[in-house]
Homo-oligomer: A and B are copies of this chain.
Amino acid sequence: MKFEIMRHRLLDGLNDVMKAISSKVTIPILTGIKLEVTEDGLRLTGSDSDITIQSFIKAEEDGDQVIRVIEEGSIVVPARMFNEIVRKLPTSDVEIEVKQNYHTYIHSGKSEFHIIGLDPSDYPMLPEIQDDRQFTIPADLLKSIVRETVFAVSPSENRPVLTGVHWQLKNSELVCVATDSHRLARRKVSLDQLPEGEFNVVIPGKSLTELSKIIGDTSELVHIAMTSQQVLFKTRSVLLFSRLLEGNYPDTSRLIPTEYKTTVTMNGKALFQAIDRASLLAREERNNIVRLSSLESNIVEISSSSPEIGEVEEEIQSISVEGEVIKISFSAKYMMDALKALEGHDVIIHFTGPMRPFIINSINDDAILQLIVPVRTY
């Protein structure tokens, strides 16, 4: 194998595939990145066995020669070392050559590195995914869906299925739900182009987080293909494979209240900031609980206190307060996460009493629903 490549294009590709490289991996070959060069270009693959990311750099792009292929071939190079070497090379071009016994030479200017690679035939094969259950979502919408749900997955492996986001396609609608059993985030999307039939999968939260880092904030379509054990996200230059989580996702629809006793409409950003301030005193006690109370004249009070430290109170003029008086306590963090997902828009909060879960929607759009289970303090 021997080729020359524009250094910044190689770095872009490495940036993507490095996101799949984990220092915790136990399979030695997966500490490496696989390079495969053909006349068409260079394919980079990185994997931690749960997620695999593949980036393809075309030999020619818009008439420019990005890669000059002298001899086709493949190699696995130590991922972190190779990435750092390429990052620090002195010139804008890199020559990579593999000689006998996987000895790999990296030239740039007057700098010459010689590192010892691994046999590329030991690198795991990628799963084959048929295209028959494929559909597309624009990249920016996909990023939003992830951002609005993934924070609510459970961080604990006690119930592994809750560490993923449930994607369910039914009746021309994609419904994405994440819950850690103390709060829930749900996003509904109507898809133009639908795959055949229904599906029902749980995608690991970590895979979705990495996905949203490698796709751009553009309207480019991302192709999504499912099998029973894998999902593939595919853009023009990058592929992300993720395993799916096994097990049945709980039926969350029953958790969501449909009748309300109090409805508060208010500015989401003002509420976020008041809770952020109140949580300064709540945090000391490590429970991070703040109180919300409806007062007269559409005023909502946010407060918290710690016996040793002090207390804080803040009044917010809300747009409207309808129904019964409410006094309720909840995790400041959960509420701030939910409001962040709603991007500071005006919000409607529906309460069904101080001990019942409450829900938060954007005033403009009920495609996003956030649910929080309160904490007993009164």
Contact = CB atoms under 8 A, between A and B. Distances in A.
Nearest to A115: B310
A280 B314 contact: no
A280 B114 contact: no
Contacts of A277: 85, 88-90, 111, 113
Copies of the chain in the assembly: 2
Interface string A70-110: 00000000100100110011100000000000001000001
Given A90-B273, A280-B84, A115 B309 contact: yes
Given A81-B280, A85-B280, A110-B315, A116 B310 contact: yes
A210 to B, nearest CB: 25
A309 B81 contact: yes
A312 B280 contact: no
A276 interface: yes
Interface residues of A, number: 31
Interface in A114-158: 114-116
Contacts of A111: 274, 277, 312-314
**Chain B CB within 10 A, most for which of A78, A312, A315:** A312
A112 interface: yes
A308 interface: yes
A241 to B, nearest CB: 29
Nearest to A84: B280
A312 B112 contact: yes
10 contacts: A84-B280, A88-B280, A90-B274, A90-B277, A110-B314, A111-B274, A113-B310, A114-B310, A115-B309, A116-B309
